[in-house]
C-alpha cells in the first residue's frame, strides 16, 4: 500500500522527535528551531513544571556551558544538560512565556518601551562580553519579551554560527564589535518610521562598516541611548544649533516660562506706570 505524502511527513516528524527515555522529561510539543537545534516544550516530572528543552543537532554541549556561565536577568537560566539515548546533547532551560520581538513590535509599543527593551538586551550583551562571551546571532527572533515585560536574549551562538545577514556585521572578525553592530541593527529594526535623528545616528554609529568606528562596547551604546532619553546631546550626532536650542527649551521649559513671566510682569508694571 502506498503511503500519502502527508503520512510520510508525519512519520518523518515522529521519527525525528527526541527519545527522552532515561530522562525526567516528557515531550510536549515543538516550540521552534533555533541555532543548530530544535526547542521543545517538555514537562519535568521531578519538579512538576514545564521547561524548554533544546536538542542540539550535534555535539555542541559547549553551547549549554556557555549560557550556564552567564547568570543575568536577561539570559535564560539553564537547568540541566545531558545526552539522549541517540547520542544527541540536550539542555533544559526556563520556558519563557512571552512573545518574540518581531511579533511584539506588531503591537506598536511606545518609543520608551522599545528603548527599554533594547537597553535590557544591551545590558545582557555587555555582561556577556565582560565574561568573555559573544552572542554572534543577535536578531529579533532571538529576543523574547515575557508576559511581565521581562526581556530574554536567547540562542547564544557558537563558532559555527556567523549570524543572520540583515543583522550580521560585514567585517569577517567575530568579536564583541560584531555584537555591537548587531545591537545597532536591532535598534534600527525596533525604531518607528519617524524616529528622532539622534536615535538614527546611534544606530549609524553602531553599524559603521569600520569596527573601530563603532561604539567601543555595549555600555557606551547604552549610555548614548540614556543621554537621549534624558534630553542630553548624544555622542553619535553633531546636532545643528536649532535642534540644540529646541532641546534646551524642551528640558528647561518651566524655567523659560517663569523667566518670560517675570519679564512680562516687569513690562506690565512699567506700562501701567506710564499710562
User: Catalytic one among 19, 44, 57, 137?
Assistant: 137
The minimum distance between CB 74 and other proteins, in angstroms, equals 20
Q: Which of 230, 175, 239, 182 is nearest to 208 (CA)?
A: 182
Q: Which of 4, 254, 271, 275 binds other proteins (CB under 8 A)?
A: 254
Lay out the site mask for other proteins across 196-235 (x = CB under 8 A, - = otherwise).
----------------------------------------
The minimum distance between CB 41 and other proteins, in angstroms, equals 37
Q: Which is nearer to other proteins, 17 or 253 (CB)?
A: 253
Q: Which of 8, 216, 249, 262 binds other proteins (CB under 8 A)?
A: 262
| DSSP states of 150-193 | -EEE-----TT----GGGS-SSS--SHHHHHHHHHHHHHHHS-T
The minimum distance between CB 37 and other proteins, in angstroms, equals 41
Q: Which is nearer to other proteins, 12 or 273 (CB)?
A: 273
* Helical spans, DSSP H, in the chain: 5-16, 61-69, 101-104, 111-130, 176-190, 197-206, 218-229, 241-251, 253-274
The minimum distance between CB 258 and other proteins, in angstroms, equals 5
The single-letter DSSP state of residue 48 is T
Tell me the window of 27-35, 66-74, 172-180, 250-258 that interacts with other proteins (CB under 8 A): 250-258
Tell me the window of 5-13, 73-81, 165-173, 259-267 that interacts with other proteins (CB under 8 A): 259-267
Tell me the window of 115-123, 158-166, 215-223, 267-275 that interacts with other proteins (CB under 8 A): 267-275
| Residue 233: alpha-carbon gap to chain centroid | 24
Annotated catalytic, 137? yes
Burial 235-266 (b: 16+ CB within 10 A, else e): ebbeeeeeeeeebeeeeeeeeeeeeeeeeeee
245: contact with other proteins by CB under 8 A: no
Q: Which is nearer to other proteins, 115 or 128 (CB)?
A: 115
Q: What φ, ψ does residue 64 adopt, rounded to 5°? A: -65, -45
The rounded distance, in Å, linking the Cα atoms of 17 and 52 is 15
Which residues are annotated as catalytic? 137
Amino acid at each position: 500500500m502506498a503511503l500519502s505524502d502527508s503520512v510520510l511527513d508525519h512519520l518523518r516528524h515522529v521519527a525525528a522527535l527526541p527519545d527522552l527515555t532515561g530522562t525526567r522529561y516528557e515531550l510536549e510539543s515543538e516550540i521552534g528551531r533555533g541555532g543548530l537545534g530544535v526547542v521543545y516544550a517538555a514537562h519535568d516530572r521531578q519538579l512538576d513544571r514545564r521547561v524548554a528543552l533544546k536538542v542540539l543537532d550535534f555535539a555542541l554541549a559547549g553551547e549549554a556551558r556557555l549560557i550556564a556561565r552567564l547568570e543575568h536577568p536577561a539570559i535564560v537560566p539553564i537547568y540541566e544538560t545531558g545526552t539522549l539515548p541517540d547520542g544527541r546533547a540536550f539542555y533544559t532551560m526556563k520556558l519563557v512565556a512571552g512573545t518574540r520581538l518581531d511579533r511584539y513590535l506588531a503591537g506598536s509599543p511606545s518609543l520608551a518601551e522599545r528603548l527599554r527593551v533594547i537597553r535590557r538586551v544591551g545590558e545582557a550583551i555587555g555582561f556577556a562580553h565582560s565574561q568573555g562571551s559573544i552572542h554572534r546571532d543577535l536578531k529579533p527572533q532571538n529576543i523574547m519579551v515575557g508576559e511581565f515585560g521581562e526581556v530574554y536574549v536567547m540562542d547564544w551562538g557558537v563558532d559555527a554560527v556567523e549570524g543572520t545577514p540583515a543583522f550580521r556585521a560585514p567585517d569577517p572578525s567575530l568579536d564583541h564589535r560584531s555584537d555591537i553592530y548587531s545591537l545597532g541593527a536591532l535598534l534600527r529594526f525596533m525604531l518607528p518610521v519617524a524616529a528622532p535623528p539622534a536615535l538614527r545616528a546611534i544606530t549609524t554609529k553602531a553599524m559603521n562598516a569600520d569596527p573601530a568606528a563603532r561604539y567601543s562596547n555595549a555600555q557606551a551604546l547604552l549610555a548614548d541611548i540614556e543621554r537621549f532619553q534624558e534630553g542630553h546631546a548624544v555622542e553619535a550626532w553633531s546636532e545643528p544649533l536649532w535642534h540644540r536650542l529646541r532641546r534646551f527649551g524642551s528640558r528647561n521649559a518651566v524655567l523659560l516660562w517663569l523667566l518670560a513671566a517675570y519679564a512680562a510682569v516687569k513690562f506690565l508694571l512699567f506700562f501701567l506706570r506710564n499710562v
